[in-house]
A and B are shown apart, each in its own frame.
Chain A
C-alpha cells in the first residue's frame, strides 16, 4: 500500500519535474506558482518520521523547513514543509531532505516550480516605488472665507429685511393715507345735489348766507328746474315765476326766503333734510352744467329773486 502511494507520487512528480521549462524564465511558469523568495507550503508523504531538512545556506537554490510530521493511518508520515526558492526553476523537494547527516533523501521525486517575478529584461530592479497620493485635506481657508462671506451676506439680508419691513409699514401707511385722500377726492364726484345745496341752505337757515352764496344756490335751483320743467323757451322772469309757483320746484326757494326774512326762525336739521329730499338722488356727475356752476367755473350766480 505504502509503496503504491510512493510510486504514484513519484510518477506524477517525475512527470511534472521533466516538463520543458527554460531556466529563469518568468513566462514559462503558471502564474499561481510560487515566486523566488516567497515561502510556500507543501505536504509530502514519506515512509519515515526522522528525515531532516538540509541546513539553510545562502548559496543553495532552495530552503526547505520541516514544520510538522504527522503519522498517517497507513503507517506513512505526512511532512508539512515550507520551502522558499532562491532561484527560479523546477526543484525536487526531497533533494533538500536528509536521510542521515551525509545522505540526501532525493526519493520520491516531489517537483515544485519556482517562477521569477522580475521580468528578464529588468535586471535586479525591484520595480517602482509608487508614491501614496496625498489625501484631500478639508479646504478650511475656503470654508472660513465662505462662512465669513455668508455671515456678511446674512447681515445684509437682515438689514434688507428690516428695511423692507419698515418700507412695508410706510407703504401701508401711505396707502391708507392715499386711500383716504382718494376717497376724499372721489367724494365730490359722487356727491349729490343735496350735498351741494345743504351748506348753503344751512347758512340761509342761520341767516349767515352771503348774497353771493344765495345767488349761487338760486342759480343752481333755477337752472335745474327750468330744465326739469322745460321752461327754456320763456324769459328768466317768467321761468322764475313759474318755478316759485310750482309746488315741488319752488318749495326750497320759498322756504329759504321765509327763513331769511322771518324774525325768529328756528329751523331744525330735520326740516332742512326734508326740504332737500327732492335733491337727494340727483348725482352731480349727471348734471355737468350744475356741477360747473357749483364749482364756480360758470359765471357767478345772479340773485334771481332780486332780479325778479
Chain B
C-alpha cells in the first residue's frame, strides 16, 4: 500500500478526533453565530424583542466553555432588554456577568461594550426610578453608579478611541450627570428619552423596579 493510500485511510480518523474535540466548540460557535447575526439584523431594524429571543437562542447554542462568545451574547441580550424596557434586568445580568467571570481575557472592544451597556442599563433604571417618583435614596446610587461608569468609559476612550467615540461617551456622561443635577420638577417637565419611557411603562404597572414605592 502506498503512503498516500495509508494517509487517506488515516485522514477520517484524524477528522473524527478533531470533530469531537476542537470541532465541537467550533460547531457550537457557528450555530450561535448564525443566530447572533439574525439577532443583529433584527436589532438593526429596531425589532428588539425578536433580537432578544434570537440572542437567547444563540446563548443556548453556544458552547458552555466559550466564555468570550457567551459574554458577547449576554451583552447583546442586555442591550436588547434595555430597548424593550427591561433595563433593571439588563443591569442585573451584566453585574452578574462581571461578578461571575474575570473580564480580563475579553477583547477590549467587548469590555468597553459591556461597560457601556451596563452603564446605560443603570442610567435608564435610575431614570425610570426618578420618573416613578422613587425616593432619592433609591435612584441616587444608581445615577451615581451610571455616572461613575461613564466617567471611566470616557477616560478609557480618551486613551484608545477616536474622537467620535469620545464624543459619544461625553454625551452619555452628560446625560447621567444631568440626571443627578435636575430637580424632580425639571425631570418631569422635560421630554423623556424613548427608552426611559418604555422602561417606565414596562415597570410602572407592576412596580417592578420599586415595589416599596406604593407601600405607605
Contact = CB atoms under 8 A, between A and B. Distances in A.
Interface of A: 35-39, 58-59, 84, 86-87, 116-118, 123-127, 129-141, 144, 147-148, 151, 154-155, 158
A37 B110 CA distance: 24
B147 interface: yes
26 contacts: A35-B170, A37-B150, A38-B173, A59-B183, A86-B178, A117-B167, A118-B171, A124-B196, A125-B194, A126-B175, A127-B168, A127-B172, A127-B175, A129-B120, A131-B76, A131-B79, A132-B76, A133-B40, A135-B72, A137-B32, A141-B30, A148-B15, A151-B12, A154-B8, A154-B11, A158-B8
Contact of A132 (B23, B109, B120, B174): B109
B199 interface: no
Given A59-B183, A140-B27, A141-B27, A134 B11 contact: no
B171 A117 contact: yes
Q: Which 5 A-B pairs have the closest CB atoms?
A: A37-B177, A137-B33, A126-B175, A117-B170, A140-B26
Contacts of B75: 132
B71 to A, nearest CB: 11
B37 A134 contact: yes
Interface of B: 4-5, 8, 11-12, 15, 19, 23, 26-27, 29-30, 32-34, 36-37, 40, 43-44, 72, 75-76, 79, 82-83, 109-110, 113, 116-117, 120, 123, 147, 150-151, 154, 167-168, 170-181, 183, 190-194, 196
Contacts of A84: 177
A158 B6 CA distance: 11
Nearest to B72: A132
Contacts of A123: 190-193
Contacts of B32: 137
Q: Is the interface of B mostly helix, strand, loop or mixed?
A: helix
Contacts of B76: 131-132
B2 to A, nearest CB: 8
Given A129-B83, A138-B29, 18 more contacts: A35-B170, A36-B174, A37-B173, A37-B177, A84-B177, A87-B181, A117-B173, A126-B174, A129-B116, A131-B40, A131-B76, A132-B75, A132-B76, A136-B33, A137-B30, A144-B19, A144-B23, A151-B12
A17 B1 CA distance: 92
Nearest to B39: A134
Q: Is the interface of A mostly helix, strand, loop or mixed?
A: loop
Nearest to A131: B43
A140 B29 CA distance: 9
Given A58-B181, A132-B109, A117 B29 contact: no
A165 to B, nearest CB: 10
Contacts of B180: 58, 86
A118 B191 contact: no
Nearest to A133: B40
A87 B174 CA distance: 9
Contacts of A135: 33, 72
Contacts of A158: 4-5, 8
A59 B181 contact: yes
A179 B117 CA distance: 85
A139 B4 contact: no
Contacts of A35: 170-171, 173-174
A136 B178 CA distance: 39
A125 B175 contact: yes
Contacts of B11: 151, 154
Given A37-B150, A132-B109, A139 B191 contact: no
Given A59-B183, A117-B170, A126-B172, A37 B82 contact: no
Contacts of B177: 36-37, 84, 86
B178 A124 contact: yes
Nearest to A116: B174
Contacts of A126: 120, 123, 171-172, 174-176, 193
Contacts of B192: 123-124
Nearest to B190: A124
Contacts of A148: 15
Q: Which of A135, A148, A158 has the most CB of B within 10 A?
A: A135
B11 to A, nearest CB: 6
A48 B64 CA distance: 62
B43 A37 contact: no
B1 to A, nearest CB: 10
